[in-house]
Amino acid sequence: MIQRKMLPFIKLTDDHIILRPFEFGEASELYKAVEESMGELKPWMSWANENYTAETAQNFITVTRAQWSSGIHYGFAIIDANNGGLLGGCSLSHIHAVYHFCNLGYWVRTSQHGKGIAGRAAKLAAKFAFEKVKLIRVEIVVAVGNEASKRAAEKIGAHYEGISLNRMVVGREIYDAYMFSLLPSDFDPAARS
């Protein structure tokens, strides 16, 4: 069983992006990024809806920082390493204490699509899951029809495991979902040679 331990707030980088916990002072920028991207997010993310406000963004930041401290959810802001701009979000959620796996989710603001940001964020977050949280599996669950998120999983070499029926609910819609996984061996050069 995973012993939940408090991991310090941390910054991860690949020199193009930085992953770090959302900061209290960036609720307005988070709100702007979500508003900019609402058309692309709404079909696939239950939280992206007409009720999303600046207060929703602030509450999200407060909750995810508290969940980080308790080891039940790791919510990252995706930050541009060059200019410090908010590019989107990435998280490790549904951490299973017995079976040592979690869900990995990501979104990138519309104006930054097509730059490989989601894949970069997913790889950094998965590496964190394996090295710091000590998980053995990271799942990327993508609703059938969400081609952008599916392409991001494919581009980073996530293992495609098929379609899970009735796997996701977004709002009132039930979706089948593509199941992808990442494993610690995907990040170990010795295991790939």
**What one-letter code names the amino acid at 178?**
Y
Question: What distance in Å separates the CA atoms of residue 111 and residue 113, rounded to the nearest whole number?
Answer: 6
Cβ neighbours around 134 below 10 Å, total: 12
Strand locations in 5-115 (E): 12-13, 17-21, 74-80, 86-93, 101-108
CATH of the domain at 84: 3.40.630.30
Tens-digit pLDDT profile for residues 178-188: 999 999 999 98
* pLDDT above 80 for 89: yes
128: in domain? yes
Question: What distance in Å separates the CA atoms of residue 38 and residue 86, rounded to the nearest whole number?
Answer: 15
* pLDDT above 80 for 25: yes
Question: What distance in Å separates the CA atoms of residue 156 and residue 159, rounded to the nearest whole number?
Answer: 9
Which 3 state secondary structure label does DSSP give 181?
strand
Domain that holds residue 75: 12-136
- Give me the chain's average pLDDT, please: 93
Total structural domains in the chain?
Answer: 1
The residue count of the chain comes to 193
109: in domain? yes
Q: Residues 67, 70, 75, 81: is their CA dihedral positive or negative?
A: positive
127: in domain? yes
Q: What is the pTM of this model?
A: 0.93
Q: Both tokens of residue 169?
A: 């609910």
Tens-digit pLDDT profile for residues 157-178: 999 999 999 999 998 999 999 9
92: in domain? yes
Which 3 state secondary structure label does DSSP give 185?
helix
Percent of the chain predicted with pLDDT > 70? 95
Which 3 state secondary structure label does DSSP give 183?
coil
Tens-digit pLDDT profile for residues 38-85: 999 999 999 999 999 999 999 999 999 999 988 899 999 999 999 999
**What one-letter code names the amino acid at 97?**
A
